[in-house]
Amino acid sequence: MIMRPNSIEARDAASQMHPMVNFRQYEKSGGLVIESGEGIYVFDNSGKRYIEAMAGLWSVAVGFSEPRLKEAACAQMDKLPYYHTFSYKTHGPSIELAEKLLELAPVPMSKVHFTSSGSEANDLTCKMVWYRSNALGKPDKKKIIGREKGYHGVTIAAGSITGLPLNHGSFDLPLDRMKHTSCPSYVHFGRPGETEAEFTRRMLQDLEDLIEREGPETIAAFWGEPVMGAGGVLIPPAGYWEGVQKILRKHDILLVADEVICGFGRTGKMFGCQSLGIEPDALVVSKQISSSYMPISAILVNDRFYQPIADESARIGSFGHGFTASGHPVAAAVALENIRIIEERDLVGNAAALSGQFKAGLEKLAEHPLVHSSRSLGLIGALEIHPWPDLPASTAAKAVAAMVEEEGVICRSVGEALCFCPPLIITGDQLDDLFAAVGRALDRLAAERPAAG
């Protein structure tokens, strides 16, 4: 990309620090300016249309420019544009949303606490885990176990639970009390000749060994996404989550399910926990809770998690935490309307109904010589890209993503994978269009690089 002087791209590169970029490269190239969106499509500042096959950032369930969400925001702005939830104050939208989340929860939950992003929610959940251990008179029970390639956000605590080196390097992360167990991705970490069942047993033994090595009495909680999203859409093998939960129960370790990507229909169930048989003590949600029209996230905790924290707040006088925007009334109103749309239009059912076509489309693309394999669950999936003779697979995946974008589809390369997470409103015909564009991009690259793969 060549930037014109004084263009909007040049102004952007001169003024903004963007997440997840090489700043020196961005200063030279600038970025793609998106000006509008409609349904599953977004349009850049030249008018080019793209299928937004990542739903923005794994999040726009109901598509772009949904009028009911705009109307919900405007109505709440007119009535009560802002109020807080500090110090015994509250308001209707936060109450209604908390009640709705408790109604939808995949397992019985006791209370809801609102924040503004998945990172904040995971960070606070970590603080609450520590608060709870102190309440129980277990000051040494503070360690957290995350997983290699897991992603839980970028704050100091959430970034430490995250298991991606680029989120640690030069930030002095992870914190010492954060530990990481093996990533349960058979395609990446299965050993030659190892069956998937043997791989699962090894993953569970790795977790058991880590707990024994650190001391069960020092470990407070385990964090996990049902499907690991930002690590490359990594789907655990059969028996993995059942085995993890058995180990955690044995050692009295809390289970925190990070549903920031999987929640509200992505896997073909309302929550990823329901798709994979997970029964967490705490559940973290964001993104599709409001289709990211407003920044809002929530932590749901069960009674086992909540009661010691409530007792401790009574003992010391307060739960000394809060954000200005916690339970923001406009964000809560938009989230409520978004959930109504998901339910009324049966978008969870749509994800389930299209999951076979989605899987088959990815599998067909996996027959291409540039592609190693595919994987999916519901409407989240990935293509694993082969390394090229002169490029590692991660660099090759970036090249494929760039070519796919030229063909009018926005996806995301993560490591060796090309990831897809389209809005839940997508139709079968639109899925066909998406995969046809990806196929054209792969064919163009193969023609340009006959030795690739």
Could you give the domains of the chain? 32-62+346-448 (3.90.1150.10), 69-344 (3.40.640.10)
Residues 262 and 273: their CA atoms lie apart, in Å, by: 8
Output DSSP code: residue 228.
B
Q: Residues 6 or more apart from 56 whose CB is under 8 A from it?
A: 292
Residues 396 and 384: their CA atoms lie apart, in Å, by: 10
- Residue reference for tokens 């970034």: 159
Q: Which helix (H) or strand (E) holds 69?
A: helix 67-79
Output DSSP code: residue 348.
H
Other CB atoms within a 10 A radius of the CB of residue 106 amount to 22
Secondary structure class of 46 (helix, strand, coil): coil
CB 240 within 8 Å of CB 204: yes
Among the listed residues 89, 117, 110, 86, the one whose alpha carbon sits nearest the alpha carbon of residue 303: 110
CB 180 within 8 Å of CB 103: no
Angle ∠(341,346,352) on CA atoms, nearest 5: 135
Secondary structure class of 48 (helix, strand, coil): coil
Q: Residues 6 or more apart from 312 whose CB is under 8 A from it?
A: 131, 132, 134, 135, 319
Residues 389 and 452: their CA atoms lie apart, in Å, by: 6
Output DSSP code: residue 264.
T
Residues 453 and 368: their CA atoms lie apart, in Å, by: 9
pLDDT value at position 450?
A: 54
Residue-by-residue pLDDT tens, the chain, 453 positions: 667 878 999 999 999 999 999 999 999 999 999 999 999 999 999 999 999 999 999 999 999 999 999 999 999 999 999 999 999 999 999 999 999 999 999 999 999 999 999 999 999 999 999 999 999 999 999 999 999 999 999 999 999 999 999 999 999 999 999 999 999 999 999 999 999 999 999 999 999 999 999 999 999 999 999 999 999 999 999 999 999 999 999 999 999 999 999 999 999 999 999 999 999 999 999 999 999 999 999 999 999 999 999 999 999 999 999 999 999 999 999 999 999 999 999 999 999 999 999 999 999 999 999 999 999 999 999 999 999 888 898 899 999 999 999 999 999 999 999 999 999 999 999 999 999 999 999 999 999 875 444
